[in-house]
Amino acid sequence: MTTTDETRPARPAGRPRSAKAERAIIEATLDLIGERASLSELSIEAVAARAGVGKTTIYRRWSSKEDLVVDALATLKAPLPPLEGRSVRADLAAYLEVVGREACDVRGRCVMNIAMNETDRHPQLVERIRQAVIRPRQEALRALLLRGIETGELRPDLDLPVAMAAVVGSMIWYVKSTGSGEGGEPAEDVVERMVDHLMAGLAPR
């Protein structure tokens, strides 16, 4: 049986990408950032050496260090669980569970550390990270709180930016100040206790 040009599968241009190499590059980038290497100190050479690949392997996939950093940090944020809308309290608990797990993870904290500490030196890169990694979470929380206002579960005069900061900041501060769940996740009852306190301030009086 012969294969004509019309039936022959098209061969993708260039070398096929290696998922193993890409994973090694991402892991190497996250390791170096987690070891307190600033974005200025992080280099493609260092990433290549840690990943055991050549620089050209990295540049075939990412055109710049900035593109690599954004993609690497984006892998740290697991998708939020469905916020089903049965109650604001239940959705807040689901949201805080994710925030708590990420706050306990050394790599997970990298995103927030960079967003807070690197703005002056790398404003454009930090803004890209915020748009790709942080902003979607903020929008999900904002929608959750707005839904609570509409259903009457939350105060109609709620200050959304302050409320959002209180929700996220409470868990991050708790984990940092207590060392709770280092390398794992907060104690089981922490989320429930935190939601109780938050709802006491967010709910209608």
Tens of pLDDT, residue by residue over 76-117, are 877 787 787 789 999 999 999 888 888 887 777 777 778 777
**Contact indicator for 74, 26 with CB cutoff of 8 Å:** no
Distance CA 148, CA 203 (A): 9
Q: Are 202 and 170 in contact (CB under 8 A)?
A: no
Other CB atoms within 10 Å distance of the CB of residue 111: 21
pLDDT tens figures, 47-73:
999 999 999 999 999 999 999 999 998
The domains of the chain, with CATH numbers, are 19-74 (1.10.10.60), 88-202 (1.10.357)
pLDDT digits (tens, 9 = 90+) for 17-57: 588 999 999 999 999 988 866 788 889 999 999 999 999 99
- Environment class of residue 134 by beta-carbon count within 10 Å: exposed (0-12), middle (13-18) or buried (19+)? middle
CB 66 within 8 A of CB 80: no
Nearest C-alpha neighbor of 154 from the set 199, 87, 88, 203: 203
**If you average pLDDT over every residue of the chain, what do you get?**
84
Of residues 109 and 122, more confidence is placed in 122
